[in-house]
Amino acid sequence: MRDLGAARSMLAEWQAAWQRDGIGYWIAHRLSTGQLIGFGGVMRRAWHGREIANLYYRLTPSAWGNGYALELARAAMAQAQLALPGLPVVVRTRPGNAGAIRVAERAGLSRRPDLDDDDLVFALGWNSGYAEPPSSRT
């Protein structure tokens, strides 16, 4: 965050999503300790001229490599089916973010180079306008 004002603005946007759609980004924590390990979830956004379910996962480095991001992604996708039915699920990530790419692929999203901008794009249900349920394969 650039400053406290930017953090407040982001938090207000996240809270507005919950009020509007009944879904949004949430805090991720270890159940065993309650330790905050990151943020994630799904938020409805306009992107490339259509509404999408933007899948987001960002964890602290100490939580990497434990499967938490994949668990978060799958839970968020399942909730998106209930709260945002029919919207494609989209992940946008930096090209060098191997962990985020791996999570998107393992969560069942397909690589979509036709949608890339500065980020790599992965999507589920983009062509059909219907987001299929996430795969249970790992």
CATH code reported for the domain at 25-124: 3.40.630.30
pLDDT, residue 68, reads 94
pLDDT, residue 133, reads 47
Q: Rounded to an integer, what distance in angstroms lies between the CA atom of residue 76 and that of residue 57? A: 9
Q: Rounded to an integer, what distance in angstroms lies between the CA atom of residue 21 and that of residue 82? A: 11
Q: Which residues contact 10 (CB under 8 A, 6 or more apart)?
A: 1
Q: Rounded to an integer, what distance in angstroms lies between the CA atom of residue 2 and that of residue 23? A: 26
| pLDDT-based confidence at residue 127 (cuts at 50, 70, 90) | confident
pLDDT, residue 93, reads 97
Largest CA distance in the chain: 42
pTM: 0.85
Cβ(62)–Cβ(35) below 8 Å = no
